[in-house]
Amino acid sequence: EVQLQASGGGLVQAGGSLRLSCTASGFTFDGYAIGWFRQAPGKEREGVSCIGSKDGSTFYADSVQGRFTISMDAAKNTVYLQMNSLKPEDTAVYYCATLSWKWVGVPSPLSYEYEDWGQGTLVTVSS
């Protein structure tokens, strides 16, 4: 059974940093991409960043480019999202999810293509 556990959320002041973790069980990352998505109250779910296992290609939404960094530790079956220079508009529930991705190149950031989802972790950025 595929399970994803997202963790690392919390309350931080604007300009601060958090590192989110997405730990997988029941499968290995080979042949998959892992994406981070977020959903703020009253807004649609947004693709934040994703990473492919074949060559480590990454995608970042324009809103987080230069501030967030995604990385994959295959040995730990964990994907990280380092979030720096956080802004109040980054406040949301952050989810990680899996996408079957056996190719090189940047994975899709479209949430409807992702298959298995973690439970979400809340990030709150105060001004």
Q: Which residue has the tokens 């380092």?
A: 82
Angle, alpha carbons 4-72-17 (nearest 5°): 85
* CA-closest candidate to residue 20, choices 114, 93, 88: 93
88 backbone dihedrals φ, ψ, rounded to 5°: -55, -30
pLDDT in tens, the chain (127 residues): 889 999 999 999 999 999 999 999 998 898 999 999 999 999 999 999 999 999 999 999 999 999 999 999 999 999 999 999 999 999 999 999 999 998 899 999 999 999 999 999 999 999 9
